[in-house]
Amino acid sequence: MTPTPTATLVARDWAEIQERMLVPLYEAVYDRLEVGPGDRLLGLDCGAGLPLLLAAGRGASATGVEADPARRALARERLLEVLAAPPSAPEANRPYDALLAFSPTPAALASAMPAVRRGGAVVLADWGPAERCTVPSVLGGGPAPRDLDALVERAGLRPDGSGRVFCPFGYADVDSAVRGLVSTGLYDAAADPALAEKELAEALHPFERSDGAVWLPNIFRYVIARVA
């Protein structure tokens, strides 16, 4: 499937503006798991591949899963191994040591679990408390945070710790903030994209600094579990 020009532009906004906002979350998780040489990671919804690059920088072997063709194409431009769907079983009997599923659906999580070794880590993450997250609570983007602990229990995983990470979304100006936030898919612009972007720009004005930059503080929560 060939990405449409609009989808390609949105994917590039994600890669060039937005995905770096989650680097503190990725790094905190990798520190917690002590990711390093010899580790094999599988990343669901890896976008344009930044979390895979960070893992590779630590010496790990990382494979991504990304359903969006435009983001998948950008990840492959970075010479990353990215699949359209989770593998149903370990490749060549080499299971993954960790599954990174930062905002998974139960179905996506269940489909990827067979590829993870027994005792391997499964990391889930989502927005933190509403009062600590500017993007969903103040700007009205997206649903309420998932109950990660319930998702762990439902998947039959063994809890093994959790944490919170400060991930501020900082942009050079309102235009780049609108482009970055629209690329997340949190803001439904299907009916009238121009109007949706105008309303989002207006909602961002209270978060502008004197130099025109936009600063949106957020807290993300992650949960680590183990495959039984």
Q: How many CB atoms lie within 10 A of CB 119?
A: 12
pLDDT digits (tens, 9 = 90+) for 55-77: 999 999 999 999 999 999 999 99
pLDDT digits (tens, 9 = 90+) for 22-54: 999 999 999 999 999 999 999 999 999 999 999
Distances (CA, A) of 19 to 47, 109, 149, 155: 8, 21, 25, 27
pLDDT of residue 189: 57
Helix axes 50-57, 23-33, angle to 10 degrees: 40
**Which DSSP state fits 146?**
P
For residues 205-226, b (16+ Cβ closer than 10 Å) or e, as one string? eebeeeeeebebebbbbbbbbb
Q: How far apart are CA 33 and CA 128, in angstroms?
A: 20
pLDDT of residue 89: 64
Expressed in percent and rounded to 5, the helix, strand and coil fractions of the chain are 40, 25, 35
Q: Could you tell me the pLDDT band of residue 221, with boundaries at 50, 70 and 90?
A: very high
Is the four-CA dihedral 25, 127, 46, 198 of positive or negative sign?
Answer: negative
61 beta partners: 40
Q: Where are the alpha helices (DSSP H) in the chain?
A: 5-13, 23-33, 50-57, 69-77, 106-112, 134-138, 148-154, 174-183, 193-204
Mean pLDDT is lowest, of 82-96, 112-126, 170-184, for 82-96
